[in-house]
Amino acid sequence: MAGRPGGDNRPMTRLILATRNAGKITELHAILAEAGLDHELVGADAYPEIPDVKETGVTFAENALLKAHALARATGLPAVADDSGLCVDVLGGAPGIFSARWAGRHGDDKANLDLLLAQLSDIDAPHRAAHFACAAALALPDGTERVVEGQLRGVLRHAPAGDGGFGYDPILQPDGETRTCAEMTAAEKNAISHRGKAFRALVPVVQELLG
C-alpha cells in the first residue's frame, strides 16, 4: 500500500466503494478529505473480476450491508456500499427499495417517474410528503460492520421540473426550497442530499474502525 503524504511512512489504507459510478467515488473522496482522512479510495471497477451483488435485502441497510460484506470478503479490504431510494408517505414508504425498478424494468427513470405520478395524480399537495433515503455501510474483512443513514425530506410536484440529476429528482422539492432537486446545481444538491448526509455520517465510523 502507498505511504501517506508529507513523509509519514505509515501504510495508507485502501478503501473500496461498491459502485462503478465515478460521481459517487468523487463525492465520498471529497467528504473524507474534508475530514482529514487520506485513505486511498477506489471503486468496484478496480476489481472487474468481482460480479455485482444482487440486492436481495428488504431494507436499504440490508442491501448496503450485502454489497459491503461481499466486497470486503472478495478483496480482503474494508468496503463501503450504499443503497437509496424514494419513500412516499401516502404510499407507506414505497417505492422504497424498489425505486429503481418501480415500473418493472431496472433503471428506466422515465417509466418509474411516470408511473409514480399516475399513482399520485389524485393526491393533493398537503399529502404529497416524501423523502429520499440512503443507508451507507462499512464492512471489514473480519465481519465488523456499521450502518448509517441520511434523508432528504420534501414534497412531490405534480409534474417534473428541471434537467439535472436523475431518477426522481425532477419531482422532489426539498423542504425550504422552491426548486426540485433537478433544478439545483450538483453542488447545491450534494450539500443537502441523502447520500451526502449518509457519507458524512460515515466519517466518524471510518475514523473509529480505520483510523
Burial class (CB in 10 A: 0-12, 13-18, 19+), 30: middle
Burial of 177 (0-12, 13-18, 19+ CB in 10 A): middle
20 is in an annotated binding site: yes
How far is it, in rounded angstroms, from Cα 183 to Cα 20?
25
- Residue 194, marked binder: yes
Query: Is 200 labelled as part of a ligand binding site?
Result: no
> Does 47 carry a binding-site annotation?
no
- Catalytic residue selected from 83, 108, 109, 114: 83
**Residue 84 is assigned to a ligand binding site:** yes
Gap between the Cα atoms of 134 and 42, Å rounded: 20
> Is 23 assigned to a binding site?
yes
163 is annotated as an active-site residue: no
Q: According to the annotation, is 107 in a ligand binding site?
A: no
Please state, in angstroms and as integers, the Cα–Cα distance from residue 118 to each residue in 114, 160, 210, following that order. Answer: 6, 12, 47
Active site residues: 83
Q: Binding site membership for substrate: which residues?
A: 19-24, 84, 166-169, 189, 194-195
Q: Binding site membership for Mg(2+): which residues?
A: 83
Q: Binding site membership: which residues?
A: 19-24, 83-84, 166-169, 189, 194-195
